[in-house]
Amino acid sequence: MSSASAPRATTPSTRLPGLDTLRALAVTLVVLHHYTLFVSNDDYTFGWVGRIGWIGVDLFFALSGYLIGNQIFAGLRSEAGLSLPRFYARRLLRTLPNYLVVLLVYVLSRAVREEAPLLPLFRYLSFTQNLGLAPGTAFSHSWSLAIEEQFYLVLPALATLGLWWGRGKGMRLAWTALALVVLGGMLLRAQLWLAHVDAHKYGIYFYYKLIYYSSFCRLDELVAGVGLALLKNAHPPMWTRLRGHGNRMLAAALLVLAPTAWLLLGDRYGFAATVFGYPLLALGFGLLILAALSGRSWLGRLRIPGAASLALWWSYALYLVHRGVGALAAPFLFPARALAPDPARDRPDPAAVGAGRLAALPAGRDALHAPARAPCPRQPQNARTQSRASMTSKAAGMAPR
């Protein structure tokens, strides 16, 4: 999530309270989730909300896709056109200053990075740290910022190229491209899950490294936001009709998100959740954003005190610093645990070295030292399900973000 997800308008009269509410909700979910992982070390500190809080990242993705996509498509339709140098300069000015300051803190402070290793500095500076990222790496929650920066770099160039190359082919080309991105992500996640997660005793580790942090596997929500922006700019009559049914859009969003949350809470690392969970989140959050943009909907009219300030000024900074603040606060909030011996830290495990310091995650040590799954890929389906459920329960909450 980056400050680029904030609309250009900053006056109270032109802000969209529904989007402010969603952005405040997204950062709150992420902070609560990370508190359960890295401060309290208790998945049930905030009940199911804390356990499912990682989807706040997906909501951020959908918001960014819509807001940035809207800027790009509106610019392409304007008489002046879209200036790529100006667009890129504005994005970097919005995201880089705070990001570089926090990165410097992580480089200088071992306490903030919880003794975990940093990647080579150029990975963070080039926003490629998410590629093959090992769980337990310092500043790991910046993986989503890397995906967003890659998105900001590629989308305007592709949109400009598509406008030039697709003359006469119209919107059919654009909608086909978006659909292919979602379908390709589903197929890629399915292949990676079958090859590296299902039959591997450290499958949860590879789930994060190859799927959860991967740019190509995490485009669903960004594409959903872009689709909304395309609908608004290319099909105004349909956009107006849909916005006129804001409460219906909100009800539809809840009907999609409720069973999706149930699926993800029950078996987040399973095949169905991995392949279909992200597209369902994308659909649900897309409908939620559409409801938030409707002045007739309950969500679009909802004004929560402080939500606008949090969304406009604090959400990006809070996201950047909350992990480090939690690392510094944990010993004071839970002093007994800080002084307790950690058997996992002193128990050598060759896989921990080859797995890129998975043991650096406080809640991930159980997953690393859990009994190995039977590696046979032909084991019965019910046995695979039980084995995966066992791993999921032991690795619950190990994700850095």
| pLDDT, position 320 | 93
For the stretch 238-253, pLDDT in tens is 999 999 999 999 999 9
Answer yes or no: are the C-beta atoms of 283 and 333 closer than 8 Å.
Answer: no
* Res 398 pLDDT > 70: no
Gap between the Cα atoms of 228 and 164, Å rounded? 21
pLDDT interval class at 337 (50, 70, 90): low
For the stretch 60-92, pLDDT in tens is 999 999 999 999 988 888 877 788 888 999 989
Higher pLDDT pick, 150 / 4: 150
Chain-centroid distance of CA 79 in Å reads 35
For the stretch 93-145, pLDDT in tens is 989 999 999 999 999 999 998 889 999 999 999 999 999 999 989 999 999 99
* Res 224 pLDDT > 50: yes
| pLDDT, position 378 | 34
CB neighbour list of residue 279: distance below 8 Å, 6 or more residues apart: 182, 185, 186, 220
Gap between the Cα atoms of 126 and 180, Å rounded? 27
Higher pLDDT pick, 337 / 367: 337
Positive or negative, the CA dihedral 381, 384, 389, 390 is positive
CB neighbour list of residue 143: distance below 8 Å, 6 or more residues apart: 129, 130, 133, 213, 400, 401
* Res 309 pLDDT > 90: no
Mean pLDDT of 268-296: 96
| pLDDT, position 291 | 95
Amino acid at 367: A
Helix, strand, coil abundance in the chain, percent, nearest 5: 70, 0, 30
pTM: 0.82
* Res 341 pLDDT > 80: no
| pLDDT, position 380 | 38
In angstroms, what CA-CA distances link 25 with 30, 222, 280, 308, 322? 9, 17, 19, 11, 15
Coil vs helix vs strand at 305 = coil
* Res 348 pLDDT > 60: no
| pLDDT, position 186 | 98
**Angle, alpha carbons 2-327-26 (nearest 5°):** 30
Gap between the Cα atoms of 126 and 128, Å rounded? 5
* Res 26 pLDDT > 80: yes
| pLDDT, position 161 | 72
Mean pLDDT of 272-282: 97
| pLDDT, position 157 | 81
Mean pLDDT of 29-54: 93
Q: Can you read off the two tokens belonging to residue 326?
A: 């939690």
Gap between the Cα atoms of 205 and 255, Å rounded? 31
For the stretch 349-390, pLDDT in tens is 333 333 434 434 443 434 433 333 333 333 334 434 444 444
Half-sphere exposure of 224 (CA within 13 A, CB side): 24
In angstroms, what CA-CA distances link 358 with 50, 138, 199, 202? 22, 12, 18, 10
- The structure tokens 């290319």 sit at 234
| pLDDT, position 123 | 97
Q: What is the DSSP letter of 267?
A: H
Percent of the chain at pLDDT exceeding 90: 54
Percent of the chain at pLDDT exceeding 70: 76
Q: Can you read off the two tokens belonging to residue 260?
A: 């999706």
CB neighbour list of residue 247: distance below 8 Å, 6 or more residues apart: 291, 294, 296, 297, 298
CB atoms within 10 A of CB 170: 10
**Cα torsion at 113, 114, 116, 119 (round to 10°)?**
-10
Gap between the Cα atoms of 284 and 293, Å rounded? 14
| pLDDT, position 129 | 97
Higher pLDDT pick, 36 / 16: 36
Phi/psi at 118 (nearest 5 deg)? -90, 150
| Beta strand residue intervals within 9-113, DSSP E | none
Chain-centroid distance of CA 200 in Å reads 25
Amino acid at 173: L
Q: Give DSSP secondary structure letters for 181-199.
A: HHHHHHHHHHHHIIIIITT
Answer yes or no: are the C-beta atoms of 194 and 203 closer than 8 Å.
Answer: no
115: left (phi over 0), alpha (psi -120 to 50) or beta: left
CB atoms within 10 A of CB 189: 28
For the stretch 167-176, pLDDT in tens is 556 678 888 8
pLDDT interval class at 17 (50, 70, 90): confident
Amino acid at 185: G
